[in-house]
Structure 1
Amino acid sequence: MSDERSPWVGDLIHDKDADRRGIVTDVRGGSLWGLRPELGPGKPWTSDRPERLGLVTPREEMRDWL
Structure 2
Amino acid sequence: MSGERTPWVGDLIHDEDADRRGIVTDVQGGAVWVLRPELGPGRWWTSEHPERLTLLESRQC
> Structure 1 length as normaliser, TM-score?
0.85
Q: Which amino acid aligns with 1:27?
A: V
Q: Which amino acid aligns with 1:21?
A: R
Question: Which residue does the alignment assign to 1:28?
Answer: 28
Q: CA RMSD in A?
A: 1.2
Percentage of matched positions with identical amino acids: 71
> Structure 2 length as normaliser, TM-score?
0.92
In the alignment, the residues of structure 1 paired with residue 10 and residue 27 of structure 2 have an alpha-carbon distance, to the nearest angstrom, of 11
Structure 2: any 5+ residue segments left out of the alignment? none
Structure 1 stretches of 4+ moved >3 Å: none
Cα displacement string for residues 28-63 of structure 1 (whole angstroms, at most 9, x for unaligned residues): 011000000000000000000000000000002xx6
Q: Higher helix share goes to which structure? A: 1
Aligned residues: 59
Question: Which residue does the alignment assign to 1:19?
Answer: 19
